[in-house]
Chain A
Amino acid sequence: MAPAADEAKSGNGGQIQRPFTFNEIVLRNRLTALVVDGDNFCRLLQQGILQAYGLQTQTVDNGDAAVELIASGAKFDLILIDMLLPILDGLEATRRIRAMGVNCKMLGVTAFSGERERQAFLAAGVDLFVEKPLGPEVLIPILRELDGQYPSI
């Protein structure tokens, strides 16, 4: 049973938890993730968030390294990729990853917020365009979907 994002819980002296908190979810499967972000802080933070949910997470700081890692045979259930990356940008890296036949869930997680960028990233092959920050309202349903707890949308 999945706790809904807007379900209120009482406890701890009568205080009600606010909606959209990071709910605890128990993943039945061992999921793996790759974080591709050129910014040191964002890369480590996203890794920390995914690891907190129990995902085995690797990180790279540029698009070329991401493509090479996947070309070497590494497989991931989830890829978080930024748009603005050194060496090889996120759009081209995404195209090349998809061209290799990789069908895993890819989220374009970027500080860009424009419609033009959104369309470009989706056209490149990401499944979802997410303006930073990556919050639980986006991440949790995806993790549940990947874990097989819910059918794909």
Chain B
Amino acid sequence: MEVVQIQRRLVDFTKSLFMEVIPSKKNKTGTLRHTNLLTKISVLCLICLVLLLLVVVDREKGLLDSQFLQLQQLQDESNPDFVVEVVSLFFDDSEKLLNELTIALDQPNVDFKKVDGYVHQLKGSSSSIGAQRVKNACVDFRNFCEVQNIEGCRTCLQQVKQECYLVKNKLETLFRLEQQIVASGGSIPMIEMDF
């Protein structure tokens, strides 16, 4: 493939990461259960909270936000692998956090404070790299931790895992395209974005 074609493909692909619209999973409320301890009013309030979360949180966001572009701006000749290294470190760390979360939510008595701590950490790191859908999933997750809703937490964990997997795949594709361009003797084109 010619360099120009790869460059064009890189530009289009990169833009798609910021604009991508992915249909949200529906009917999360259908998976929620209430125990005998909750009154009817409490259940209604919980459902309203979940509905509010689903309506207010815009699921049609891009995988990445401007923070990722800003990190790319810091990459230069003296630090040519900055973004790749940062991304790699993020996914190493997030994998560990997700494993810890899986274990924590599998316990017979879930320690929600511990779970919340892990999610808080992942929220911070994902926002720092610009993985906004991961960050947004963490926000939902923390809300379920606050009300100690185990099923909601488990659903959110799956959502966070999916978002991490998705953004990781997309970034790997991005870096592969960049490598192809450099290997063909071309330069990485500047991406124009409007936020």
A: residues with CB less than 8 A from B are 12-13, 15-22, 38-42, 44-46, 48-49, 52, 82, 84, 110-112, 131-136
Contacts and interface: CB of A to CB of B under 8 A. Distances in A.
Main secondary structure of the interface of A (DSSP, over half): loop
A112 B123 CA distance: 9
A41 to B, nearest CB: 4
Contacts of B129: 41, 45, 133
Given A48-B82, A48-B86, A18 B124 contact: no
Contact of A41 (B70, B93, B194): B93
A148 B123 CA distance: 34
Contact of B125 (A13, A19, A42): A42
Contacts of B71: 49
A140 B130 CA distance: 18
Counting chain A CB atoms within 10 Å of each CB, the highest count among B86, B117, B128, B130 belongs to: B128
A84 B142 CA distance: 15
Contact of A111 (B66, B74, B82, B121): B121
B86 to A, nearest CB: 6
Interface string B117-136: 10011011101111000000
Nearest to A139: B70
A39 B74 contact: no
A134 B66 CA distance: 12
B73 interface: yes
Contacts of B70: 20-22, 135-136
Contacts of B13: none
Contact of A132 (B69, B127, B193): B127
Interface of B: 66-67, 69-71, 73-74, 79, 82, 86, 89-90, 93, 117, 120-121, 123-125, 127-130, 190, 192-195
A18 B79 contact: no
Nearest to B89: A41
A15 B15 CA distance: 14
A49 B74 contact: yes
A133 B66 CA distance: 10
Nearest to A37: B124
A114 to B, nearest CB: 11
Q: Which 5 A-B pairs have the closest CB atoms?
A: A111-B124, A22-B73, A133-B128, A52-B74, A41-B93
B158 to A, nearest CB: 21
A151 to B, nearest CB: 26
Contact of B120 (A12, A13, A20, A84): A84
B82 A39 contact: no
A40 B70 CA distance: 20
A48 B74 contact: yes
A40 B90 CA distance: 9
A136 B90 CA distance: 20
A44 B128 contact: no
Contact of A20 (B66, B121, B123, B124): B66
A38 B193 CA distance: 33
A120 to B, nearest CB: 15
Given A12-B190, A84-B121, 19 more contacts: A15-B192, A20-B66, A20-B70, A21-B73, A22-B73, A22-B74, A39-B124, A39-B125, A40-B93, A41-B93, A45-B128, A49-B74, A82-B124, A110-B124, A111-B120, A111-B124, A112-B120, A133-B129, A135-B67
